[in-house]
Structures are given as C-alpha cells and as structure tokens.
Amino acid sequence: MDDYLFDLRGFLVLEGALSESEVEACNDAVDEILPMEPDSWHGHVHRTGNSSQTSLQQIYELPPFETFVDHPSWVEYARRYVGGEGTFDYNHGPLYIDENFFGVFPPGEGTVLHSGGTPPTQRTQFGYHDDEFHCGQVNILVAMNDIGPGDGATMVVPGSHKSNFQLPNWENLEGDTLEAVPEAREVHLEAGDALLFVDSITHGSATRTNDGERRMCVFRYGPSWGVSRLGYEPSDELLDRLTPYQQQLVETFGSKEPKTPPAAGE
C-alpha cells in the first residue's frame, strides 16, 4: 500500500516517526543555541534565512540530530524510493544526504509552491523501471511541533510529480498559494510525524496565520554520487560519532581518500 500511494500521490505520511522524547530532546537542543544571527555559526551549524525566518543548516552536527541520518522510521523508505541497488549507484553506499536543516517559521511566513513537472532537473526526477523506483531526491520533513490549520503547513499537489506541464500562473504565485492552485492541499502533522515526498512533487507551505511558530526538520536523500547542495561537508567531529554506515550517507564520493597506484617496487 505504501508503494502504491507513493507512486500515485508522490508522498506518504509516516505517523509517529519520532517518539515524544526524541521530539523534546531535539527541540531542547535547538533552544539551547537560539537565537542566532543570520549567517552565523554555532560549531558546524550554520544559521541562514532572513531576520525572522530561521534555517539551521547542517543540523545533523547538533546532537541528537545525527540519529536522523539513518533513522529506522524512514531510512529504508528513502533507500527503496531513491533506488539503484545492484548498480554503480551503490559503489559508495546506498544513499547520500545532500542537505539537512531545521526550520523555524513565524507568523506571516510561507513558501511559494515550486517543483512539479518543470523545470526538468535531474535531481527532481521520478522514475519507476523494472519493478524498481528511481527518484533523484526523496525528502523527509519531520514536524517538531503540531502543524494544523493556520500553522503554515506544508502544501503538496498530489500526482504532480508526474506532471508534464508547468504550474499555471507560476510567475504570479506569492505567499499563500492554496487558492491559486485548487489541487493543492495542506498536510497537517502532529509533532513527531514525518512527511516523505519525492522532490519532483509540487510543494511549498501555506502562510502561517496563527500565533507562535512552525518547527520542522528536513533531510534530503539522493544517490550516493551526489554532492552537497550548498557546499557543506560533515565535520570530523560528526564523523567520529557516526557508524560506518552513517558515514556513507553523509560523505560525498570526492571526500573519500583518493585511490592511487602503489609506489614503484610495491
């Protein structure tokens, strides 16, 4: 059923992906380093975004977020839907995380709908061949607090990952686009739920109209030969905390020690 719904809609909701204690520990860890100024660093965590919207890039550098790298609630889904098992895509490992961040969004903030059938980038392709999925990128968005009506929920257009046409009125979409695209729907989540979606689905977020803030964490998985979308590399401190399997998921192929021929006479 999961495969059927993912193929049909382009997304799944994984209820209770994190326990209450996991959600609490992650939020507490973020609260300990906030507030941070835009373009500032806490260790190897980089705060981007504007003065009101907070994006903490490389969040897996902040304990306890390294557990998200191969969290059992979603890593096998990511592996299956990215695909490539038994091919050269697995030369370096089964997956690569090309971006991971924690987002904090206050009232008035939203994200315009994007992706879908166009532009046709390799990273955002959806494919299914010979009984295997082949997706350029599979995203895991974890709700770190309850996200309901008025909270600026993630929006998706089910089935748009197979669209052959550009989103109508693309240039005119601003802020809350729910009315502009009738097929768009909000995905409401409880704290600890995860939204798994292929990046080629049209997605964004509604404008938050309630008080408070929306908190969520995103990990993006793709083929093992990928590179960091924003040019980050994992720190040595993080790698020392990870298992060999987790290291495969965060290190780019180029970051490995190069293979060289033996010296003369060896």
Do the domain assignments include residue 258?
A: no
Overall number of domains in the chain: 1
At 17-65, the pLDDT tens digits run 999 999 999 999 999 999 999 999 999 999 997 778 899 999 999 999 9
Question: Within a domain: residue 262?
Answer: no
Contact yes or no for 178/155 (Cβ under 8 A): yes
> φ and ψ at 72, to 5 degrees?
-65, -15
In this structure, are residues 39 and 47 in contact, taking their beta carbons and an 8 Å threshold? yes
Instruction: Find all residues with CB under 8 Å of 72, minimum gap 6, and list them.
Output: none
Q: How far is CA 241 from CA 6, 69, 92, 199, 219, in A?
A: 33, 12, 20, 29, 18
Give domain status of residue 265, yes or no: no
Q: Let me know if residue 264 belongs to a domain.
A: no
Backbone angles phi, psi at 68, to 5 degrees: -70, -20
Domain membership of residue 75 (yes or no) is: yes
Range of the domain at 120: 2-252
Task: Dump the DSSP string for 84-113.
Answer: -TTSGGGSS-S-EEEEEEEEEE-TT--EEE
pLDDT digits (tens, 9 = 90+) for 145-192: 999 999 999 999 999 999 888 776 665 555 445 556 778 899 999 999
Nearest Cα to Cα of residue 133 among 194, 77, 73, 92: 77
Residue 67 lies in a domain: yes
CATH of the domain at 236: 2.60.120.620
Pure H helices in 186-229: none
Is 196 among the domain residues?
Answer: yes
Query: Which residues contact residue 223 at a Cβ distance below 8 angstroms, ignoring those fewer than 6 apart?
Result: 82, 84, 89, 95, 96, 136
Let me know if residue 261 belongs to a domain. Answer: no
User: What is the pTM (predicted TM-score) of this model?
Assistant: 0.92
